[in-house]
Structure 1
Amino acid sequence: MSVNSQDTRRENRPNVVLLTAHDLGQHLGCYGIETVKTPNIDALASEGLRFENAYSTSPVCSPARGSLLTGRYPQSNGLMGLTHAPWWWEIDDSEAMLPEILAEHGYETHLSGLQHVASDPERMGFQHTHSRELDAEETTAAASELFRNATDDQPFYAQVGFFEVHRDFDQGTHSENGVYVPPYLEETDEIRDDFAAFQASVNYFDDRVGDVLRALESAGLREETIVILAADHGIPHPGAKWTCRRPGIEIALLMDGPGPVFSGRNRVDEVISSVDVLPTLLDVLDVPISGRIEGHSFRQFLAGETESPPREAAFAQFTEHMKRDNESRCIITRENHLIRYFDQGRTVKYPVGTDPQAFADHVERMSTEREPRPFAQLYDVREDPYELENLGASSKHKQLVTDLSQRLLRWMVSVDDPLLEGRVRHPYYEQAVDDLLTSSTDPE
């Protein structure tokens, strides 16, 4: 689809609905998890595009979402960690986000529910905020009312953000079709019970997505709307969220809409990063893409206009949070995943049996071996997707580690990664030092 951004005629400008999920990873039926019930999301995947190898730029919420909405990496947009206390990271004032960009090109911009990027939605470019609560049914109702009241003379951008499937899980349990426990976790009673509760939360999230899609259909808007569903990062379990391991950065990414971009194929196996969503969408809408954008547009590739995808590898960063893992950077391709660590720690031997809720509550940590964690860990994505065997120390893979390390370093230089100049100075550290100096000054 090629849409003239200067043409205000409603019929030539599709609406955009962005559905965001917390901690979802790829734990959905359309991604092969048979123990959950996600018919609404699965139907969306079957109607449009399902990206099999989609990766976030961070395994924690705020920086992952910041990249999705700016098309820029956390080191570039300044949002390298969580926005809320006691982390206090903030996105740079100079950053333009998707709602703001679309508003400048004639879209009416709406937020319903969670965004977790900035304290003020207006800073992000939202003209209308319908609900800031974390209640999924309120979020769904607000989005449905938005669709009913949509006018014919102006397209809209609606971001519908759900707190689900973040802990604490409060939708009971679901084990009707069994309980799926990823191989990097042991199948203890605590872990199985936790996943039964997680599955129920996933099912509930799917119900709410179904409500949104049905409301869009009832308003007569579905055929003229681009719908994107994106998770922020991996699932909320040890060995996934809070780590640059593949289970921590893999995300569900679905797109559907009018035009050849969304109809040429169903499954997309090529690697795509969350920073690519914004430029791809802008390209589809024929909205100019700023030279500051670090992501790549997949429009031509998806429309069949070119045979080669715009990227072969994705990159991610983890700026240490809550001591759950060590500071790290990574590069991942369809074949291999290299993680490099920059903070002291010991090797975690997977699978682990750590109670997921106790881990999330800081009561329990993953057990480690006595030897130091190696600076680099290498995994074969195709043969070992759950990353149980580190190949980084093998002489057979020495050249591969070197090649991937070179590519990773080039990326770190390109985003001006502060880690190359020393330890990252966290906002808490900055405020703590400022408080020390202020408190140490004798009153006049």
Structure 2
Amino acid sequence: MSGTSLQAFLTIILSAFLVNVSDARPGKQSRPNIILIVSDDHGREAVGCYGNKVVKTPNIDRLASEGTRFSNAFCTVSSCSPSRSAILTGMQSHSNGMYGLEHQEHHFSSFDKILSLPVLLEKAGYRTARIGKLHVAPEPVYHFQKVLQEGAVNNPASIGRSPVEMADLCSPVFSESSEQPFFLYYATDDPHRSNSVLANGTPFFDGSRPNAFGNRTQAYPMVVENTFNPANVVVPSFLPDTRACREELAQYYQAISRMDQGVGRLISNLKAAGKYEQTVIIYISDNGSPFPGSKTNLYEPGMRLPCIVKLPNASRKNFVNDAMISWVDITPTILDFADFTGSIKQFQGRSFKNIIEQETVKGWDEVYASHSFHEVMMYYPMRVLRERRYKLIYNIAWKLQYPMALDLYQSYTWQSITKTKSGKLGQRTVQSYLQRPKFELYDLDKDPNELNNLADNVGYKHELKRMQDKLRHFQERTHDMWLSKWNYE
């Protein structure tokens, strides 16, 4: 495609995403405050209220006990920047332009004309503030009125690794005398892996020891560092039950416990300001856990995540909702809470506000996912349709070997696998993990670990064709440039 034709193509796409905000309603006292908590790489298998009896997440669990826990919540892409762009725009990352990680050397950025959640909330009369990790660009697209303190990606010295301190820095937002409601974006670096360094600061990349996950000898301010015995951690089925993996999970749990204390302090400060019952609180993770088989994958561990919503004066508590929701639904839902009345054309998600406390819901039975890159050299586009029973993964560049994220490849867990005779990642062989077929079709009722690919099974050819047609239509309506692969292959 020539430069001129590409520019014309993008112009057509962007024109489809224009939004009329002239009728956005000004702020009024009756509207709730809104807090969106986004942790970094927190898999649902490591949350107490989702069934883990070892990890310590009492504050997240308490939030769930006072609100609604979604049992079928999914990110759209299991990679930090693209996922956060979907959360904050209501659009798939291949539609908003954030194809991969927003690092300076990668230069992935959303299109300039995209209108993000904080920008739209400001137009609706909300005060907007953020703290911690942003990891999306450009700034005018993702503009917040206040940056309480900037986080730094994967830096143990940044505020994002000190969640209780983060929570205290948010207190002025709660106590400010204003008739305008507020929107706070609280985004930790925990429990992301940290840069691999020795105690003396020397980096190491040989996978010879567990990653620290931001943990350090000197405790973070006001944090009680809970340590875990590797013998006691819960090894999920997608990981190998090895000494190396257990030692890394123990470090991971410690980072989760630290992050949970930040959530607790944030809620405590909100209550002290008398704003708890006037505030919608949403807790999610951007993507799956930072282990092979989860993060950067669109297998279940990578995309099925925690989502907890606490409503003002909730009528149902400790409620479990099984509606299938996606991170592209987050922005439409928050704008619905904000009583935003603008005409939105860019959204590819929809509001789930009215079903949060419903016992039985209809029409929430499928989600779509889209991965293109992690780092710029890690090109491996995948498109996914996930239904209640069946799941279809389309590996667009299937002839390539699956490229692993550098921190996962260098991890103690992965390197220990490569040194064993079994060569297995959980129940999956290393070979099948690295070399994938064009289509993967799974019956999740019979095969929850996604091990038995039915795409070549003649007994499932009708299911395969039906889901392929739906997936292709998804690519058409989201203006996916990878749609062309259907035509020339």
Q: Give TM-score scaled by structure 2 length.
A: 0.77
- Counterparts of 1:55-204 in structure 2, within 5 Å, are 55-120=74-139, 122-133=140-151, 134-135=158-159, 136-137=162-163, 138-147=165-174, 149-168=175-194, 169-171=213-215, 173-175=227-229, 178-204=232-258
Of the structure 1 ranges 269-278 and 165-174, higher mean CA displacement relative to structure 2 is found in: 165-174
In the alignment, is the contact (CA less than 8 A) between 1:332 and 1:338 conserved in 2? yes
Residue 117 of structure 1: how far off its partner (Å): 1.2
2:330 paired residue among 246, 268, 277: 277
What is the match of residue 219 of structure 2? none
CA distance in 2, matches of 1:370, 1:107: 46
Report the equivalent of 2:304.
250
- By how many angstroms is 1:299 displaced? 2.5
Q: Distance in 2 between matches of 1:371 and 1:52?
A: 29
How far did residue 355 of structure 1 move? 7.3
Question: Residue type matched to 1:167 in 2?
Answer: R
Q: What SS is found at the alignment partner of 1:368?
A: helix
Contiguous gaps of at least 5 residues in structure 1: 424-444
- Distance apart, 1:43 and its partner CA: 0.6
- State the AA in 1 paired with 2:370: Q
Q: Does 1:221 align with 2:265?
A: no
- On the 8 A contact 1:329/1:341 being kept in 2, the answer is yes
Corresponding residue of 1:46 = 65
Amino acid corresponding to residue 166 of structure 1 in structure 2: H
**Is 1:211 matched up with 2:229?**
no
Distance 1:18 1:331 in 2: 26
Q: Structure 2: how far apart are the matches of 1:286 and 1:112?
A: 24
Whole-angstrom CA distance in 2 between matches of 1:411 and 1:370: 26
Query: Across the two proteins, how many residue pairs are aligned to each other?
Result: 410
In structure 2, distance between residues paired with 1:103 and 1:270 = 29
Question: Secondary structure, in 3 states, of the residue corresponding to 1:37?
Answer: coil
Structure-2 residue corresponding to 1:296:
350
Residue 48 (structure 2) aligns with: 29
In the other structure, the counterpart of 1:405 is 468
- What SS class does the counterpart of residue 226 from structure 1 fall into? strand
Q: Distance in 2 between matches of 1:377 and 1:369?
A: 11
Partner residue of 1:414?
Answer: 477
Q: Which residue is equivalent to 2:441?
A: 378
Contact 1:228 1:253 (8 Å CA) reproduced: yes
Distance change in 2, residues 1:275/1:370 (3 Å): closer
* Partner residue in 1 for 2:11: none
Q: Contact 2:76–2:370 at 8 Å: present in 1 too?
A: yes
Q: 1:8 to 1:417 in 2, by over 3 A?
A: closer
**Matched residue of 1:404: which SS?**
helix
Q: Residues 420 and 119 (structure 1 numbering): CA distance in 2 closer, same or farther, change over 3 Å?
A: closer
SS in 2 for 1:319: strand
Deviations 1:40-95 (A, max 9, x none): 00011111111111111101011111111111111211112111143221011111
User: Are the equivalent residues in 2 in contact too, given 1:242–1:324 (CA < 8 A)?
Assistant: no
Distance 1:207 1:380 in 2: 38
1:439 maps to none
**Aligned match for 1:339, one of 370, 373, 393:** 393
Name the CA distance, whole Å, in 2 between partners of 1:287 and 1:371: 45
Contact residue 346 and residue 369 of structure 1 kept, 8 A: no
User: How far off its partner does 1:19 sit?
Assistant: 0.7
* Letter of the structure 2 residue corresponding to residue 400 of structure 1: E
Q: CA deviation at 1:326?
A: 3.4
- In 1, Cα distance between equivalents of 2:414 and 2:106: 19
Q: Deviations over 1:244-274 (max 9, x none)?
A: 11111122111112266x7387111121010
2: CA distance between counterparts of 1:171 and 1:371?
30
Would you say the 8 A contact 1:191–1:355 is kept in 2? no
Paired with 2:451 and 2:369, the residues of 1 have a C-alpha distance of 20
Identity over aligned pairs, percent: 30
Preserved CA contact (<8 Å) 1:184 1:388: no
